Structure 1
Amino acid sequence: MTDWLNVGKIVNTHGIHGEVRVISKTDFPEQRYKAGNMLYILKDGNHRVPVTVRSWRQHKQFDLVSFEDMENVNLVETYKGSLLQVHTSQLDDHLGEGEFYYHEIIGLSVETEEGKLIGAVKEILSPGANDVWVVQPEGKGKEVLIPYIDDVVKEIKLNEQKIIITPMEGLLD
């Protein structure tokens, strides 16, 4: 595993006071973007700029984040298209039972209770009430969308790198 985790992507500026629009890829935006937290902007794919969160709020499908000492749109304009990252040493080890970081789930194989391999989790979407895991089947199949709900996801075995599911009717058709 890499020492750096992507928590979001700066897609645009918002207003004139230095806020940026972020498409979030973090499990816990309210914790990750809390005022005073340290993030790193990966600029041009090879240079990390440390920044401290000044404010965070949600607006439509975006997270709006501002940074200390960057209270002007001209100071953040250059970061459009850059990734926001955290170092793995910044992760909180106090997750509750049944809570996982996205990076722990992505890459795990998914199989039915009968042992039929579905594929591997390639992405996690957070469209609403529950997460949806995008599973890439072995070979050339169409992606399978697995809702992260108790009726479907029966067991997550991190040590075995697999997830056991009971597919809802029509899920694998």
Structure 2
Amino acid sequence: MEQMLRVGVITSTHGVRGEVKVFPTTDDAKRFKNLKQVILDGKEPLELSIEQVKFFKNMVILKFRGYDSINDVETWRQRDLMITRDQAVELKENEYFITDLIGLSVADDKGLELGTVKDVLVTGANDVYVVELKNGKELLLPAIGDCILEVNLEQGRMKVHVLDGLMDL
């Protein structure tokens, strides 16, 4: 399991006083209000203390302590903001971080190995797991109880029921 989780991506600077616009990659952008620190991902990760949080449309505007000029932050575009797993929100039963699902091996309820989870599509109704089959094709599985029977992160496995017609697509 990944020990660092991405919560956002810096898209651009905001103003001249060292603020940055962040596209949140977390379900709840308001969680930035409770974060004290984030880590700027890169060759040499940089721990940043959050001084101020504002919201504008679908973006989060962050100001970091000690970075007071546009010159201090302009090279941070397209860099990820990470948190440690202990800063992550509590998950409910049958909720998982996407990063933990990627790479799980997938078998059906008859024991047939199908492939591995390649991606998770976040839709309005429910997530959809993209499974790369052994033949190179993709299977799209809705993340609903009828399809996803068991997720075992420790063993790196997922047991699924493939609904009629899904393999035909």
Post-superposition offset of 1:85? 0.9
Post-superposition offset of 1:113? 1.0
Count residues in correspondence.
Answer: 165
- Match among 126, 146, 149 for residue 154 of structure 1: 149
- Paired residue type of 1:41: L
> What residue number does 1:96 align with?
92
Give the TM-score normalised by the residue count of structure 1: 0.74
Verify the 8 A CA contact 1:55 1:66 in the aligned structure 2.
yes
Post-superposition offset of 1:79? 1.0
| Pairing 1:16–2:15 present | yes
Verify the 8 A CA contact 1:14 1:64 in the aligned structure 2.
no
Cα deviation, 1:104-136, whole Å, max 9, x if unaligned, reads 322211121112222111222323232222222
Larger Rg: 2
User: The residue matched to 1:160 in structure 2 has which SS?
Assistant: coil
Q: Percent identity?
A: 28
| Pairing 1:133–2:129 present | yes
| Pairing 1:80–2:77 present | yes
Post-superposition offset of 1:58? 7.2
Give the TM-score normalised by the residue count of structure 2: 0.75
Instruction: State how far apart, in whole Å, the 2-side matches of 1:109 and 1:39 are.
Output: 31
- Tell me the C-alpha RMSD between the 2 structures: 2.9
- Paired residue type of 1:168: L
Gaps of 5+ in 2: none
Matches within 5 A, 1:100-119: 100-119=96-115
Post-superposition offset of 1:141? 1.1
Verify the 8 A CA contact 1:41 1:51 in the aligned structure 2.
no
Gaps of 5+ in 1: none
